[in-house]
Amino acid sequence: MSTKAKEILAITIIVIFCLIFYIRKVNGGEGILFSSLVAWLVIGAMVLSLVWILILTIRGRLISRRVVFIYVGIALALPLFMPFTQRIPISPEVRALYNSVETLKPGSKVLISFDFDPPSAPELQPMAESFIRLCFERDLKVIIMGLWPQGPQQANMALEKVLSDEKMKVKNLQYGEDYVNLGFQTGNEFVIQRMGSSFESMFPTDYRGTAYDSLPLVRNVKNFSNIDYSFNLSAGFPGSVEWVQIAVDRYGVQLGLGNTAVQAPQMYTYLNAGQITGILGGMNGGAEFEFLCKYKGKATKFMLSQSFAHMIVIAFIIIGNVAFFLGGRKSALKKS
Amino acid sequence: MRREIPLIITGIVGVGFVIQYFIPHAPFSYMSDWFSDWFSIVGACAIVLGALNLMKMSAQKVIRKKKDWGYALVIIASFLLIVIIGLSEGKDFRVPGTRFDWLYNYMYIPLSATMFAILAFFVASASYRAFRARNFEATLLLVAAFFVMLGRVPVGDVLSGFMPEGWRLSDLASWVMNYPQSAGQRAIMIGIGLGIVSTSLRVILGIERSHIGGGK
């Protein structure tokens, strides 16, 4: 079979699967879940096939990258149908962030900056949802803004999801009194700097066009000194670094961070220096936070997929290195 | 004078920025607000300029039938679609339930998420083909990556559950992140900071002139 035919076959299979699941969802069908036996058989088959790839590699036949792609695809997709649960260990930085929110008194004002766009949403949106949920549960007032144009729209999605929960409906939370979305403002780090003297100058109206003065929640919020806690969800520039350098260092804001896994390592320097209260790093950080909030969101659901994907990548690194050492360094290097 | 005036403006604004940062009192605090407002205005104009430039480049590509001109056509069509629908919705274009919101939720989000998700496949493929223990440094990186990748997901603790508390993979990953990784990051950040200071000084003093279109 030619490569083109294989690609068409793979795409057709994926489309058929997507259609089946979509039709089931539209018809209100329950999610498909493997039995434990099937799940273990799938894992066994994957392990055996990896051993076979290892043997092939030792014999000097490096597999093509398409095979690696298929394994990653399987490792990400199949765990979604597996019935396994994992104990999520809580890291000190996530617990510290949770504790800092827990210590806030009811009615405290929390500023959340949504500095990300849809590509980073799988990692950051679950954090946003669980953080907003925690704020509402603890009767904190939420002020939302964004340094990225798509940020406030992501915030709306998170709000919509949280407010649709029965527990939240009972609270009868009102826009403008309990939460507000100030929208996006261009100017990167200068927006933060200007907010140090006047929020209103950067956000004369909210997301819906309502005048700043007409919103009871923010009417008396002049600058950072009226904010009790800040949380930044960031996927790059402008984001966490700018919030730390300006809002924390210059205006003394108490800040917690939610970052993508790629960005999180850079933020550990700020954590160790005591400039931030805690970090939620990547989807794992989101899952840990959900666990502390006693809420099972998307981050928790997808952790099994992430665990499998990490193990597959490690398996391929090991296979590649075995080929490197056993198959002769030079020839392995040449082939790769 | 065509070169001197921009250099003088750059110098004055640069010095002003430095002063207002270290003296946050009147009149310098007003200067800070003034600069911030101006930056926002310039930034807003830059967004429009960037969009128009993208359209110009794409249109040129289509007209001259350059390589992959079909993609440029898709850019133009998508841009016009979003702009026309956004403008037709009025000031509430982002409110849930609007056509713009539908496009954002069901086209923009899945498309951009797909593009980003492809990264996982390339990372795996690149790890298999290039992540080799060629020398001591590469081996060190490989071992650290091994611990962090396993330790940052719950399965790491499942695999190392037999180890005593404090020695499990999640603890090792935390140690790597908090000490060697942090130290390396800090060194890089200090280096970048010093680089920024020296470049800024060159720009403020007029030694570096590439931003006004000239050489040295």
Same domain, A131 and A73: no
Q: What's the confidence (pLDDT) of residue A236?
A: 92
| Single-letter code of the amino acid located at A89 | P
Question: Shortest Cα distance from B63 to chain A (angstroms)?
Answer: 31
A110 and A209 in one domain? yes
Task: State the Cα torsion B107-B109-B111-B113 to the nearest 10°.
Answer: -160
Question: How many Cβ contacts (< 8 angstroms) between chains A and B?
Answer: 169
Q: Mind telling me how many Å the CA of A303 is from chain B's nearest CA?
A: 7
Same domain membership, residue A107 and residue A137: yes
CA distance B64 to chain A (A): 30
Whether B18 shows a pLDDT value over 90: the answer reads no
Residue A27 lies in a domain: no
- Are B95 and A324 an interchain contact pair (Cβ–Cβ within 8 Å)? no
* Residue A284 and residue A267 share a domain: yes
Angle at A256 between CA A97 and CA B104, to 5 degrees: 115
Contact between residue A255 and residue A244 where contact means Cβ atoms under 8 Å apart: yes
* Out of B105, B109, B133, closest to residue A321 by CB: B133
Written as six digits, the tokens of A272 are: 């160790």
Q: pTM for the whole thing? A: 0.88
Query: Would you call B125 and A261 a contact, using CB atoms and an 8 Å cutoff?
Result: no
What value does the mean pLDDT take over residues A272-283?
94
A182 and A236 belong to one structural domain? yes
Do A186 and B94 make contact, defined as CB atoms within 8 angstroms? no
Nearest to A197 among B21, B29, B108 (CB): B29
Q: Which domain holds residue A322?
A: 33-84+300-335
Do A198 and A75 reside in the same domain of the chain?
Answer: no
Residue A307 to residue B178, Cβ atoms within 8 A:
no
Those residues whose C-beta lies under 8 Å from the C-beta of residue B37, and which sit 6 or more positions away, are A194, A201
**Cβ–Cβ under 8 Å, residues A245 and A256:** no
What gap in Å lies between CA B78 and CA B82, rounded to an integer?
A: 6
- b/e per residue A144-153 (b: at least 16 CB within 10 A): bbbbbebbbb
Same domain, A178 and A208: yes
Interface touch B185/A265, C-beta < 8 Å: yes
The partner residue sitting opposite A65, judged by closest CB among B94, B115, B125, is: B125
Q: Give the integer Cα–Cα distance in Å for A103 and A106.
A: 9
In this structure, are A169 and A199 located in the same domain?
yes
Minimum distance, in Å, between the CA of residue B95 and any CA atom of chain A: 8
Tell me the per-residue pLDDT of A45-100, one tens digit each, with 9 for 90 and over: 999 999 999 888 888 787 888 889 989 999 998 898 888 888 898 999 999 999 99
Specify whether A130 is located in the same domain as A277: yes
In a domain, A7, yes or no: no
Tell me the two tokens of residue B91: 């000031």
The closest CB to that of A336, out of B43, B96, B129, belongs to B129
Question: In percent, how much of chain B has pLDDT > 70?
Answer: 99
Q: Which segment, A3-12, A235-244, B101-110, is predicted with the most confidence on average?
A: A235-244
In a domain, A239, yes or no: yes
Categorize the per-residue pLDDT at A14 as very low, low, confident or very high, splitting at 50, 70 and 90: confident
Question: Are residues B132 and A324, on separate chains, in Cβ contact within 8 Å?
Answer: yes
Q: How far is A95 from chain B (nearest CA, A)?
A: 13
The total of structural domains in chain A comes to 2
Contacts of B146 in chain A (CB under 8 A): 314, 317
How far is it, in rounded angstroms, from Cα B191 to Cα B22?
22
Q: What ipTM did this prediction achieve?
A: 0.85
Residues of A in contact with B128 (CB under 8 A): 65, 68, 316-317, 319-320
Chain B residues touching residue A236 (CB < 8 angstroms): none
For residue range B34-82, list pLDDT tens digits in order: 888 888 888 889 989 999 999 999 999 999 999 999 999 999 999 999 9
Residue B129: pLDDT band with limits 50, 70, 90: confident
Share of chain A above pLDDT 70, in %: 95
